Amino acid sequence: MIRSFSLALSVAALTAAVAQAQELRIGLSSEPTSADPQFHALNPNNALALHVFGALVDNDETQRLTPGLARSWKPLNDTTWEFKLQPKATFSNGQKLTPRDVVYSFCRVPFVEGSPGPFSYAIKSVVAMETPDDETLIIKTATPDPLLPNNLISVNILNADVFGGGKNIKFKPGGCEDFGGNPKPVEFNNPAKAIGAGPYKFVEFTLGSQIVLERNENYWGEKPYWKKVTMKPLSNAGARVAGLLAGDVDMIEAPPMQDIERIKTSGATISQALTSRVIYIQLDQFNDPNWKSPTVKGTDKNPMLDKRVRQAMSMAINRQAIVERIMGGVAVPAGELLPYPMFGSTKGFPITKYDPDGAKKLLAEAGYPNGFEITLATPNDRYINDEKVAQAVAQMWTRIGVKTNIDAMTAGTFFTRRTKYEFSAFLAGWGSATGEISNSLVALSVSHNPGKGLGTTNRSRYSNPQMDALVIKATETIDDKEREKLLQQASKMVADDVGILPLHFEIRPWALKKGLTYKARSDENTLAMGVKPGPSN
């Protein structure tokens, strides 16, 4: 009698525990700005959209492409792609996913009302779309675009019927024929309208307060473990850690490094992934006789035009020491712009050796035996320990005779001043959105060409036409092997020129309460689908 009673009790307790365990509460470091998956090309928004909507192409923890709402894709020729949709894919309202929904979604991308960061860049090569049957989609591009599938990761698919999409919608780059209704972003705050084909659906979206998701029982793919997911924006790092330790949330993004030991001793686990974000320094290399580099003192010329000087400045940096002592191990030293084995990176790419004596010698050879003076600019609230890293670099440079001052500022001011070329040297970071090195090279190393959208963040004005040609050829090469070879060559060329000084790749940590594990992702997305109960490893 007593035994069966206690058995009943423990069964009840177990069921209660399981019922409770079905909810996952996540503390977000930055909040999505909208429930509309096409509103703002921003990491938190993309991560949320993946729960509810989903794109044709997905990527795994290491940013390799995997099937999403499309089960397969292949190039038919240089400018034509064929995508096959998942036959079982349905929306949370039970409707089947059709190619028309995809066309409607692509049509809306450039026309989202008030979008501060549209996804237009992802589909700007697309000129036509055809839907030969219920599961096939043909996409034509103006020029060969090997990165189309990579870019489509961030283009979320909407349900055309919910918003009154046209029946005979036809894709046109400047605006579609028979487009039909175009919802305002706020309409997505209404869970009844925000219908997607993702593993979760909205229950509540309250800006600033919380986002509540519920498992989509109609989901076509692998059923996620958690029935209910609550996301709370806890932008203050201390509040996030306290929330985890107090048991308010089960998982937090980006715990601050100084708290990691404390989190571990409380029994919680840390899950981390090497990201595609490289922290680098750019040195002013503007080759113009009338240009006076803004913060260089002690010489009339721009010393950094001399490769030996750049080489010396790179050799002066002890990357290993920065990674160990300042980054507390949540980084690895970098030699190029993307960590291996991501696409276009090279195994065992050489990392500049720390050699202060050699650096001094090179400086003297270049005609600067007494060095010169420079200011290193850095944001102080953007990357992990950004200002501290800059200070360390300044000391290392000063040691070889390049007297270095630090100009640290908030990210907003930093980017504005960088755009105006106000820095002779600055520290910043870049995460490859596509997981390919072409993305980083095009943005940081290719010569600035606003008309073609090249070198948009090349604020050192490093320029090597040979390298440019290689990268541009790569971005038009559909064949993966061929493209990878071109990119590897280009990356080596930048390193040989010392065009940019890569410092390290960031590691992104997550903290989870005892008994949970997370498949940490290099794209930094926090996905409830990747969180599972189980032993920590």
Partner 1 sequence: MLVYLIRRFAQAALVVAVMATVVFVSMYAIGNPIDLLAAQDASDAEKAALARELGLDKPLWEQFFIFAGNALRGDLGKSFVYNEPTLKLILQRLPATMELALTALVLSVALGVPLGVYAGLKPDSWFSRTVMSGSILGFSLPNFWIGLMLILFFAVELKWLPASGRGETVNVFGVPISLLTWDGLRHLFLPALTLSLYKAALVVRLARAGTREVAMQDYVRFARAKGLSYRRIVLVHIVKNMMIPVVTVIGLEFGSMIAFAVVTETVFAYPGMGKLLIDSINRLDRPVIVAYLMFTVILFVVINFIVDLIYAAIDPRVRLVEAKG
Say whether residue 430 binds partner 1 (CB under 8 A).
yes
Say whether residue 210 binds partner 1 (CB under 8 A).
yes
Say whether residue 148 binds partner 1 (CB under 8 A).
no
Say whether residue 214 binds partner 1 (CB under 8 A).
no
Tell me which stretch binds partner 1 (CB under 8 A): 5-13, 50-58, 414-422, 460-468.
Answer: 414-422
CB 359 within 8 A of CB 400: yes
What is the footprint of partner 1 within residues 40-79 (CB under 8 A)? 40-42
Say whether residue 21 binds partner 1 (CB under 8 A).
no
> Pairing mode, if any, of strands 228-233 and 251-253?
unpaired
The distance of closest approach from Cβ of residue 354 to partner 1 in the complex, given in angstroms and rounded to an integer, is: 30
Say whether residue 186 binds partner 1 (CB under 8 A).
yes
Tokens of 414: 């930093």
Name every residue whose Cβ is closer than 8 Å to that of residue 276 and which is 6 or more positions away in sequence.
63, 338, 339, 342, 431, 432, 435, 440, 505, 522, 523
Task: Please report, to the nearest 10 degrees, the dihedral formed by the alpha carbons of residues 418, 420, 423, 424 taken in order.
Answer: 120
Phi and psi at 84, nearest 5°, equal -105, 125
The distance of closest approach from Cβ of residue 294 to partner 1 in the complex, given in angstroms and rounded to an integer, is: 18
Here's the x/- map for partner 1, 457-496, by CB under 8 A: it reads as x---------------------------------------
The distance of closest approach from Cβ of residue 154 to partner 1 in the complex, given in angstroms and rounded to an integer, is: 9
Q: Alpha-carbon distance 275 to 31, whole Å?
A: 20
The distance of closest approach from Cβ of residue 416 to partner 1 in the complex, given in angstroms and rounded to an integer, is: 4
Tell me which stretch binds partner 1 (CB under 8 A): 138-146, 202-210, 321-329, 515-523.
Answer: 202-210
Say whether residue 209 binds partner 1 (CB under 8 A).
yes
Residue among 177, 197, 174 nearest 53 (CA): 197
Q: Which helix (H) or strand (E) element contains residue 47?
A: helix 43-52
Place of tokens 């290993």: 320
Indicate the residue among 196 and 431 with the shorter CB distance to partner 1: 431
Say whether residue 443 binds partner 1 (CB under 8 A).
yes
Give residue 479's region: left, alpha or beta (phi > 0; psi -120 to 50): beta
Tokens of 113: 């009302």
Instruction: State the burial class of residue 516 (Cβ atoms within 10 Å of its Cβ: 0-12, 13-18, 19+).
Output: buried
Write a three-state SS string for 81-94: EEEEECCCCECCCC
Out of 305, 415, 422, 492, name the contact with partner 1 by CB under 8 A: 415
CB 46 within 8 A of CB 525: yes
Q: Alpha-carbon distance 378 to 443, whole Å?
A: 19
Tokens of 176: 């579609």
> Pairing mode, if any, of strands 331-333 and 501-512?
antiparallel
Q: At what angle do helices 465-474 and 480-497 cross, to 10 degrees?
A: 160
Q: What are the strands, taking DSSP E only, across 362-424?
A: 372-379, 402-409
CA-based end-to-end distance of the chain: 41
Indicate the residue among 151 and 285 with the shorter CB distance to partner 1: 151
Out of 456, 489, 517, 536, name the contact with partner 1 by CB under 8 A: 456
Say whether residue 118 binds partner 1 (CB under 8 A).
yes
Say whether residue 243 binds partner 1 (CB under 8 A).
yes
Out of 175, 350, 412, 533, name the contact with partner 1 by CB under 8 A: 412
What is the footprint of partner 1 within residues 24-43 (CB under 8 A)? 27, 31, 33-34, 39-42
- Give me the amino acid identity at 8: A
Q: Alpha-carbon distance 340 to 445, whole Å?
A: 19
Say whether residue 238 binds partner 1 (CB under 8 A).
yes
Out of 453, 479, 496, 514, name the contact with partner 1 by CB under 8 A: 453
The distance of closest approach from Cβ of residue 263 to partner 1 in the complex, given in angstroms and rounded to an integer, is: 11
The distance of closest approach from Cβ of residue 199 to partner 1 in the complex, given in angstroms and rounded to an integer, is: 25
Indicate the residue among 194 and 315 with the shorter CB distance to partner 1: 194
Q: Which helix (H) or strand (E) element contains residue 469?
A: helix 465-474
Out of 61, 248, 355, 422, name the contact with partner 1 by CB under 8 A: 248
Indicate the residue among 91 and 383 with the shorter CB distance to partner 1: 383
Say whether residue 113 binds partner 1 (CB under 8 A).
yes
The distance of closest approach from Cβ of residue 141 to partner 1 in the complex, given in angstroms and rounded to an integer, is: 17
Indicate the residue among 86 and 438 with the shorter CB distance to partner 1: 438
Tokens of 29: 């470091």
Out of 79, 282, 439, 475, name the contact with partner 1 by CB under 8 A: 439
Say whether residue 247 binds partner 1 (CB under 8 A).
yes
Say whether residue 120 binds partner 1 (CB under 8 A).
yes
Tokens of 398: 């000063």
Q: Alpha-carbon distance 196 to 147, whole Å?
A: 25
Indicate the residue among 116 and 534 with the shorter CB distance to partner 1: 116
Indicate the residue among 347 and 420 with the shorter CB distance to partner 1: 420
Indicate the residue among 39 and 423 with the shorter CB distance to partner 1: 39
Q: What does the binding site for partner 1 look like in residue numbers (CB under 8 A)?
A: 27, 31, 33-34, 39-42, 113-121, 185-186, 207-210, 232-236, 238-240, 242-243, 245-248, 381, 410-413, 415-416, 418-419, 430-431, 433, 439, 443, 450-451, 453, 456-457
